[in-house]
Amino acid sequence: MNENKYNYFLDIHCHYEEINPLYLKQKLKENKIISLTASTNIQTYENLEKIRLKNIPNLYFAYGLHPDNVIKKEINDNLKDLEKIDFSKSIAIGEIGLDYKITKNKQKKEEQKKIFEKQLEFAKKLKKPVIIHTRYATKPVLEILSSWTDLKIILHWFGGNETEIDKALSKNYYLTQRFAFPEIKNIKKHFDKIFIETDFPVSYNGENTNIESVIKSYEKFCEKYDIDLTQIKKRTIQNFEKLFKIKL
């Protein structure tokens, strides 16, 4: 990267599989955005692989099976899908995790857990950070993660309570801020564990998101915590370089 990398906005979590690559390239360039786009199932992985082959600057990939999709298939089919994913092409394993809103079924929850743990195994083996979804499942996710001590963990848009947020930070997990949520107390002490995201194209408070919504997400963060934009841009870029061992 020739220009000042700290001028860039970093979207640590989004889903670009439906976007036209040329349009995406243009949008990232004109808005100075660096992104990490995540797969959610085998189809989105295949679409993202097509986009990856276009070599779009400042675009990175996380591959994995999302818990909402895991419950739609039999466990053996999920395992077969995992075999098809080339994780070496991704810098992280994601989006993976648990979602107890989508299912209350005991067996399905058990299957989600199995596939989640299987993907944590890949992350450990391949030494890649994980991006984790925890909707209505903050407690079981933290419990599972407590036995995976050497993993680098990003809890995306973590919905835990104050105690759970403290617990996550004490374990050096990274937390993402999606339009300045969830609230993190003493945020200035935790700048080395913060990322900003959009979860594009998932809407936020009934409002559609777009690729450049990451700018709004940074602005909301600065407004809420009374922080200088330049400062948080620099910190998130530094966090990215440190976590992924990538020099931008």
11 is a site residue for Zn ion (CB under 5 A): no
In 3D space, the residue among 88, 90, 134 whose CA is nearest the CA of residue 112 turns out to be 134
Smaller CB distance to Zn ion: residue 39 or 78?
A: 39
Smaller CB distance to Zn ion: residue 95 or 164?
A: 95
28 CB-near residues (< 8 Å, 6+ apart)? 34, 35, 56, 57, 58, 59, 211
DSSP summary character for residue 192 = G
Please list every residue from 66 through 105 that binds Zn ion, using CB under 5 A: 95
Smaller CB distance to Zn ion: residue 41 or 236?
A: 41
Write the single-letter amino acid at 69. Answer: N
Per-residue interface string for the shown chain with Zn ion, residues 14-33, x marking contact by CB under 5 A:
--------------------
Cβ-contact 40, 48 below 8 angstroms: no
Which of 206-209's residues contact partners 24+ apart within 8 Å by CB, and which partners?
none
Q: How far is the CB of 139 from Zn ion (least distance, A)?
A: 20
The size of the interface with Zn ion (CB under 5 A), counted in residues, is: 2
Q: How far is the CB of 79 from Zn ion (least distance, A)?
A: 22
Q: How far is the CB of 67 from Zn ion (least distance, A)?
A: 11
DSSP string, 190-225: GGGGEEEE--TTS-BTTB---TTHHHHHHHHHHHHH
Smaller CB distance to Zn ion: residue 95 or 212?
A: 95
Residue 207's φ and ψ, nearest 5 degrees, are -100, 140
Smaller CB distance to Zn ion: residue 66 or 220?
A: 66
Please list every residue from 96 through 155 that binds Zn ion, using CB under 5 A: none
Please list every residue from 192 through 231 that binds Zn ion, using CB under 5 A: 199
Q: How far is the CB of 154 from Zn ion (least distance, A)?
A: 11
Smaller CB distance to Zn ion: residue 5 or 81?
A: 81
Smaller CB distance to Zn ion: residue 95 or 99?
A: 95
Q: How far is the CB of 95 from Zn ion (least distance, A)?
A: 5
DSSP string, 43-58: HHHHHHHHHHTT--TT
| Angstrom distance (rounded) from CA 99 to CA 96 | 10
Q: How far is the CB of 37 from Zn ion (least distance, A)?
A: 10
The residue at minimum Cβ distance from Zn ion is 199
Q: How far is the CB of 177 from Zn ion (least distance, A)?
A: 14
Cβ burial of 120 (10 Å; 0-12, 13-18, 19+) is buried
Cβ burial of 75 (10 Å; 0-12, 13-18, 19+) is middle
Q: Write out the residues near Zn ion by the rule CB under 5 A.
A: 95, 199
